[in-house]
Amino acid sequence: MNRRTTVGIHDLSFASAEFVLTHATLAAHNGARLAKYHTGIGQQAMSVPAADEDVVTLAATAAQPVVQRHGTDRIRTVLFATESSIDQSKSAGVYVHSLLELPAATRVVELKQACYAATAGLQLALALVTRDPGQQVLVIGSDISRYPLDSPGEATQGAAAVALLVAADPALLRIEHPSGLYTADIMDFWRPNYLSTALVNGQESISAYLQALEGTWNDYTKHGGRPLGDFAAICYHQPFTTMAHKAHRHLLRHCGHQSEHPATTALTCTTAYNTQLGNSYTASMYLALAGLLDHADDLTGQPVGLMSYGSGSVAEFFAGTVVPGYRRHLRRTAHRTVVDRRQALTYARYRDLHETQLPTDGGDHPLPPQTTGPFRLAALTGHKRIYTPR
Ligand code: COA
């Protein structure tokens, strides 16, 4: 294993949507016991986008502070991961490139494999930066998780985007080699092009996740990865936050770990944002990382495990080491504002937003301003999306 790698995550910023639906409001509507949501699935609330927000506006909002802090000169690649794609051809990243006024000399592409794709983006970015340490890569994961109203999945919706700046001599996390890899052709969660909400077999998605965790861990170990006892914390993909606890217990059992593991106490930090924002698909594991870095005691020099899972399914387990001085570069106050600034919805208003469909007739449709974020989807015209800074 090359533990001297000096490529990794230099900056991390996330954004979420304009509105929030609390699980108390949802439970009052559907008669579920609140403990099922708060304890059983580990969710307090979930973000709901305004009608003039989408994965582009969320992504640009997440990435803007990164660009403002580091400038655009060294960014030569934007990798946009999403499973809430808005176009079959054009990368959502090109709109973000335009909104953030990135240099023309940039390659931009969209990546897809359910919730895993941002990790594919991160790994591709590491390779690019290793080849040319002078350049930086902006990796974005941006998603809106939507399930049908009154379905079991409804309680596990959410929306958020994460922006990672990948660079040499990173300020936050040095990413290590190797990775453990795992792919299996399975239908636990998917969304055909003609549906606006996802299809999921909940119990199958849980067992598929755990099977993938075993597979990727076995491969990680086979390729010389760290022993489980090394990790101060592990960030798991979190479609709902109790999934992180299920996964962690499963991994400990799989490795025959008898005693209490230090990463167990860190789990609460990794769920701090996801429990409030809900499922953000590609961004979810990186919000777990943000939660950990923003809330845990000093992690300087500590190894952190990262378990990325995307239904369908592809998984990757890899590790990073927390860089000395990382706390000076965190965005804890801004992240807290992302959570706190959202406006609470009544159930009726949430239902209205959920049922709102964008017009598909190619006519001119200005969208009334709803979001108070920095970017908005201002109109649809001639089948084109028009974005503007607000
Ligand atoms: N108090 C405490 N816990 C309670 C409870 C109560 N009153 N009522 C139920 N629970 C617990 C259940 O025991 C269960 O926990 P367990 O799995 O540890 O046994 C949990 O709450 C959920 O209950 P369940 O009956 O399974 O809920 P559900 O049928 O509504 O489905 C999901 C829950 C998570 C499976 C469903 O929301 C879903 O499919 N979400 C999508 C998941 C996803 O995105 N997967 C793809 C990506 S990995």
**200 touches ligand 1 (CB under 6 Å):** yes
Task: Report pLDDT for 259.
Answer: 76
Q: What is the DSSP string of 159-218?
A: EEEEEEEEEES-SSEEEPS--EEEE----SEE--TT-SS-EE-HHHHHHHHHHHHHHHHH
**313 touches ligand 1 (CB under 6 Å):** no
**365 touches ligand 1 (CB under 6 Å):** no
Which mutation among 34, 36, 143, 210 tests ligand 1's pocket best, with the greatest number of atoms within 8 A of CB?
36
Task: Report pLDDT for 1.
Answer: 41
Residue 370 lies inside a defined structural domain of this protein: yes
At residue 146, the 3 state secondary structure works out as coil
Q: Per the residue annotation, which of 18, 53, 83, 154 is the catalytic one?
A: 83
Task: Report pLDDT for 40.
Answer: 98
CB atoms within 10 A of CB 357: 7
Q: Per the residue annotation, which of 97, 237, 248, 250 is the catalytic one?
A: 237
Q: How confident is the model at residue 260 (pLDDT cuts 50, 70, 90)?
A: confident
Closest CA to 165 of 65, 97, 96: 65
CA-nearest residue for atom 5, ligand 1, is 36
pLDDT average, residue stretch 211-216: 98
29 is catalytic: no
pLDDT average, residue stretch 107-130: 98
**d(C-alpha 388, C-alpha 390), whole Å:** 6
CA-nearest residue for atom 36, ligand 1, is 153
Task: Report pLDDT for 147.
Answer: 97
Q: Per the residue annotation, which of 110, 115, 261, 269 is the catalytic one?
A: 115
Give 361 Cα–ligand 1 centroid separation in angstroms: 39
Task: Report pLDDT for 5.
Answer: 53
Residue 384 lies inside a defined structural domain of this protein: yes
**208 touches ligand 1 (CB under 6 Å):** no
Domains: count for the chain: 1
Give 298 Cα–ligand 1 centroid separation in angstroms: 33
Give 40 Cα–ligand 1 centroid separation in angstroms: 6
Residue 1 lies inside a defined structural domain of this protein: no
On whether the pTM is more than 0.95, the answer is: yes
Which of 86-100, 158-172, 248-262 has the least mean pLDDT? 248-262
Give 121 Cα–ligand 1 centroid separation in angstroms: 30
pLDDT digits (tens, 9 = 90+) for 307-344: 999 999 999 999 999 999 999 999 999 999 999 999 99
**207 touches ligand 1 (CB under 6 Å):** no
Does the pLDDT of residue 197 top 80, yes or no?
Answer: yes
What is the overall mean pLDDT for the chain? 97
Give 194 Cα–ligand 1 centroid separation in angstroms: 27
237 is catalytic: yes
**46 touches ligand 1 (CB under 6 Å):** no
Q: Which two tokens stand for residue 84?
A: 């809430």
**35 touches ligand 1 (CB under 6 Å):** yes
**d(C-alpha 121, C-alpha 179), whole Å:** 14
CA-nearest residue for atom 43, ligand 1, is 239
* Percent of the chain at pLDDT exceeding 90: 97
261 is catalytic: no
Does the pLDDT of residue 2 top 50, yes or no?
Answer: no
CATH number for position 77: 3.40.47.10
Dihedral-angle region of residue 138 (phi above 0 means left; psi in -120 to 50 means alpha; beta otherwise): beta
**157 touches ligand 1 (CB under 6 Å):** no
Residue 2 lies inside a defined structural domain of this protein: no
Give 169 Cα–ligand 1 centroid separation in angstroms: 41
Q: Do residues 367 and 378 lie in contact, with contact meaning Cβ atoms separated by under 8 Å? A: yes
Q: How confident is the model at residue 81 (pLDDT cuts 50, 70, 90)?
A: very high
Task: Report pLDDT for 4.
Answer: 53
pLDDT average, residue stretch 102-119: 98
Task: Report pLDDT for 258.
Answer: 76
Closest CA to 311 of 218, 233, 243: 243
Residue 283 lies inside a defined structural domain of this protein: yes
pLDDT digits (tens, 9 = 90+) for 331-382: 999 999 999 999 999 999 999 999 999 999 999 999 999 999 999 999 999 9
Does the pLDDT of residue 303 top 60, yes or no?
Answer: yes
Residue 326 lies inside a defined structural domain of this protein: yes
**282 touches ligand 1 (CB under 6 Å):** no
Q: Do residues 289 and 269 lie in contact, with contact meaning Cβ atoms separated by under 8 Å? A: no
Q: How confident is the model at residue 262 (pLDDT cuts 50, 70, 90)?
A: confident
Q: Show the domain range for 166.
A: 7-389
Atom of ligand 1 nearest to the CA of 189: 46
pLDDT average, residue stretch 22-43: 98
Residue 207 lies inside a defined structural domain of this protein: yes
Phi then psi for residue 324, to 5 deg, are: -55, 135
